[in-house]
Amino acid sequence: MDKTWIVVANARRARCFERHAGDFTLTELADFIGPQTTLTSVASGGDLTGAAGKGHGRTGHAGTQFEPHTEVHAKDRHSFARQLADYLNRAVAERQCKALVLIASSAMLGELRPCLSHAAEQLLRRCVTSDLTRYQNAELKERVNLALQLPD
């Protein structure tokens, strides 16, 4: 039996399905919930700037140095993508699937693809930019089928 795994993901949720060749039904294998980032308010003493603190610059006089700004959401998205990729990489190494399809938001695809192992990349049949995480059952199946018919 040809085991194709389909991953439907965005930055907050990812679902992994096995697609059956005969009737294209989807069997859910895993459901991942990503980190829920909350902003700390400045009023409560939180630091939204990402500052590393005060220090001395190369000029030798007092000043403030800051780490390069990295959006909290971007860090969370990368961590979540890494978690999902680890799951997929392990499944590919254990030969649990013969093909992979990624249907994900643009940001998540950009984070997920570089985290895939060489073996997982070799099994990657299609990447589609679309967020289908909110759909269920027959509507999900229909939207996955439609997404897979779209040209690259």
How far apart, in whole angstroms, are the C-alpha atoms of residue 147 and residue 152? 10
CB 33, CB 15: distance < 8 Å = no
Tell me whether residue 21 is in a domain.
yes
pLDDT of residue 151: 60
pLDDT of residue 70: 58
Strand pairing category for 62-65 and 99-104: unpaired
pTM here is 0.74
Structural domain tally of the chain?
1
How far apart, in whole angstroms, are the C-alpha atoms of residue 65 and residue 71? 18
Tell me whether residue 51 is in a domain.
no
Residue 10: in which H helix or E strand, if any?
none
Q: 79: domain CATH number?
A: 3.30.420.60
Q: Is 127 exposed, middle or buried (0-12, 13-18, 19+ CB in 10 A)?
A: middle
Average confidence (pLDDT) per 10 residues, the chain, 152 residues: 88 93 89 70 41 46 57 82 96 95 94 96 95 93 88 54
- Close Cβ partners of 83 (under 8 Å, ≥ 6 residues apart): 32
Structural domain harbouring 103 = 4-34+69-149
Tell me whether residue 59 is in a domain.
no
